[in-house]
Amino acid sequence: MRQEDAPLVRTLPLFAGASETTVEKLLQASFLQRFPAQVELISEDQPADFFYVVLEGCIELFANAGPKQSTAAIVRPVSSFAAAAVLRDGNYLLSARTLEPSRVLMIPGESVRAAFAGDAAFAKAFALELAAAYRRTMKALNNQKLRTAIERLANYLLQEHQTQGAAGNLTLPTEKQTLASLLGMTSENLSRSFGALAAHGVKVTGREIQLSDITSLETIAKPTPLIDDPMY
């Protein structure tokens, strides 16, 4: 990667405690790439050559099975993906595409494993990233198995509302079809679920959402930190 980008990248939490030489070696082998929207960065079942850190924009991780497709996660700055695949030196489990123009740090798997072996602080940071991914996924699984579509949507809105400042409104960060897939339902079902939540103070205008009755929405959502708190 280019020298002038190095200072920015060094501030990443992933590199926080790592030694100068570790970071040096990692960055020397890495690529800091810009991609336009709708580019497929990786394809499931391919050898995991790179570990990805999202610096700007937004990446969708998704899985295919026959004609069906499911969004597993949306990755936003500053976060990463493909940690498990790279550590195991295996294949990607998910495909990834940019949803917006994005800037991504690509670190070769080889380099990641070398840094993991040689620098305990980096190893800890990397493993914590992996642990965070594990917990997000487990929460998504519980969300899917224990809740109905309307409950998942209600909880998503409450969480996004919180993230965006709890000002009584929020903006959907993705297209509704992507949100539907993330929440494990069809587009049509998402549309109707929004309709059903109108009775609980949810007003939809394109991607703009107004929440006028949080209490009522929480009654429907029954949120629990074990599933809905991103920090948990």
Per CB under 7 A, residues contacting DNA are: 148-150, 175-177, 184-192, 194-195, 204, 206-207
DSSP SS3 for 68: strand
**CA 123, 126, 174: angle at the middle one, nearest 5?**
175
* Amino acid present at 57: G
Residue nearer to a second copy on the CB measure, 193 or 209: 193
Short-list 180, 34, 198, 187, CA closest to 106:
34
Q: Give the pairing of strands 31-35 and 102-108.
A: antiparallel
Separation of alpha carbons 183 and 177, rounded Å: 10
One residue of 78, 123, 172, 196 binding a second copy per CB under 8 A: 123
Residue nearer to a second copy on the CB measure, 33 or 144: 144
One residue of 34, 203, 207, 222 binding a second copy per CB under 8 A: 222
Q: How far is the CB of 36 from a second copy (least distance, A)?
A: 27
Q: How far is the CB of 170 from a second copy (least distance, A)?
A: 23
Residue nearer to DNA on the CB measure, 45 or 175: 175
DSSP summary character for residue 164? T
One residue of 34, 88, 203, 207 binding a second copy per CB under 8 A: 88
Residue nearer to DNA on the CB measure, 79 or 95: 95
Does 186 engage in binding with a second copy (CB under 8 A)? Answer: no
Short-list 105, 104, 123, 103, CA closest to 113:
123
Alpha-helical segments (H) within the chain: 6-10, 20-29, 83-88, 109-118, 120-146, 149-163, 176-182, 187-197, 214-221, 225-228
Does 224 engage in binding with a second copy (CB under 8 A)? Answer: yes
Spell out a b/e string for 64-85, using b for 16 or more CB atoms within 10 Å of the CB, else e: eeeeeeebbbbbeeebbbbbbb
Which window, 23-31, 34-42, 85-93, 100-108, contacts a second copy (CB under 8 A)? 85-93
32-71 mask for a second copy (x: CB under 8 A)?
------------xx-----------------x-xx-x-x-
DSSP SS3 for 97: strand
Q: How far is the CB of 220 from a second copy (least distance, A)?
A: 13
Residues at the site binding a second copy, with contacts judged by CB under 8 A = 44-45, 63, 65-66, 68, 70, 72, 83-85, 87-88, 90-91, 93-94, 116-118, 120, 123-124, 126-128, 130-135, 137-142, 144-147, 184, 222, 224-227, 232
